[in-house]
Amino acid sequence: MKKANLIYLLGSILFAVLIGFSSCTKEGPAGPAGADGEDGIDGTDGTATCIQCHDDSQNLFAKINQWEHSVHAIGGNYERNEGECAICHTSQGFLGNLDGSYDYTAEGAFISDPNPPNCYTCHKIHDTYTPEDLALTKTDPVELNNTAKATFDFGKANLCASCHQGRTVDPFPVENGGDYNVTNSRFGVHHGPQANTFAGMGLFEVGSGYNNHVHTNIADACVTCHMTEPFGAQAGGHTMNISYEYHGATELNLNGCTECHSDPDALAENTEELQAEVEELLAELQALLIDAGIYNENTGLANTGTYSSNVAGAFLNYMAIEEDRSLGVHNPTYIKKILQNSIAAIE
């Protein structure tokens, strides 16, 4: 018991000593306040450049929404990412062909992780972070295939025409020439010859009497009609569609046509008549090509073999007008004449 009391006493003394030491330790008076430092320079507003494009005035959301419903976005076959196919079917191949970084003629030429045609394909997106980024990536006149390097200026649509033209056919049939060997069932100018039909260049011209329609003089060509005031995300704008489905019927977005065609009802009627006439000419030419043996009505492609040069050329014209898909609208006088002359050349 005495031992416990002694321990308690010693602990109390030690605690009192520590309190005493702490009470003797005091800070000195505070020194004078230092001068304020200089304020830092404000940084640049991180959104100052972005807002030049990403605001309501540019309607970027509407344009992106239209593009997302376009064939470019959902049906562009961008898995075609090898060789020459990649320069139009993929965004990277198109841009690489423009700046020379993609050589489609090289062995094993291939685009990894291909993208479909998109904003970056057509516009210089995020080069300067100003509205200049909306400038087009291709502006100079287009050198058309099968024309001895002739060029045509489509205005803003030079971008469109650089891909939407027939591929090179080599050798190209010669009017009234000798035998022509078709060695591939996919003989033809391919799927997008609209630049050729619009310009009236690069098809097999047999006979005479060719004249272009006034449509050839439309400023900016494809852009004027296909990218006009949109109908939602179904036609016009960045959908680039002309026709759309509405309540079970196929309608035409004619907003880009009314500057020249003031009567939309008359325009629709004239368009229907033209397309019916071209369909009849195509059917007549197709029947002749079947009789000549070059057109395979089961596959819609060519039968390989040897044919006259005029038959081979007429087949090229038939496939080009079919693949043009406007049924004459792009260049009415030229398209009708080339079909009429092709029919006359092989009858």
For 165, the token pair is 């033209």
Query: What is the dihedral sign for C-alpha 110, 111, 113, 114?
Result: negative
What's the pLDDT at 12? 58
Count, residues in the chain = 347
Task: State phi, psi for 94 to the nearest 5 degrees.
Answer: -60, -50
Say whether pLDDT at 28 is over 70: no
Say whether pLDDT at 309 is over 90: yes
Q: Is beta strand 301-302 parallel, antiparallel or unpaired with respect to 305-308?
A: unpaired
Where do the structural domains in the chain lie, given as residue ranges?
58-137, 139-226+254-346
Mean pLDDT, the chain, whole residue set: 90
pLDDT tens digit string along 172-207? Answer: 999 999 999 999 999 999 989 999 999 999 999 999
What's the pLDDT at 52? 83
Position 38 confidence tier, pLDDT thresholds 50, 70, 90: confident
Q: Dump the DSSP string for 187-250.
A: -SS-S--HHHHHHT-SS---SS-----GGGG-TTTHHHHHTSS-BTTTBSGGG--SEEEETTEE
Position 302 confidence tier, pLDDT thresholds 50, 70, 90: very high
Position 58 confidence tier, pLDDT thresholds 50, 70, 90: confident
Residues 275 and 267 sit within 8 Å (Cβ to Cβ): no
What's the pLDDT at 160? 97
% of the chain residues with pLDDT over 70 = 89
Say whether pLDDT at 334 is over 80: yes
What's the pLDDT at 187? 96
With 0-12 / 13-18 / 19 or more C-beta atoms within 10 angstroms meaning exposed / middle / buried, residue 328 is buried
Say whether pLDDT at 254 is over 70: yes
Position 228 confidence tier, pLDDT thresholds 50, 70, 90: very high
Position 20 confidence tier, pLDDT thresholds 50, 70, 90: low
Residues 224 and 217 sit within 8 Å (Cβ to Cβ): no
Mean predicted confidence (pLDDT) in 55-66: 87
CA distances to 35, 45, 53, 68 from 56, in Å: 47, 19, 8, 19
What's the pLDDT at 149? 87
Position 50 confidence tier, pLDDT thresholds 50, 70, 90: confident
Position 289 confidence tier, pLDDT thresholds 50, 70, 90: very high
What's the pLDDT at 144? 96
Determine the 3-state secondary structure of 308 from DSSP: strand
Query: What is the dihedral sign for C-alpha 87, 90, 93, 98?
Result: positive
pTM of the predicted model, to two decimals?
0.84
Mean predicted confidence (pLDDT) in 41-56: 75
**Separation CA 247–CA 229 (nearest Å):** 20
What's the pLDDT at 1? 52
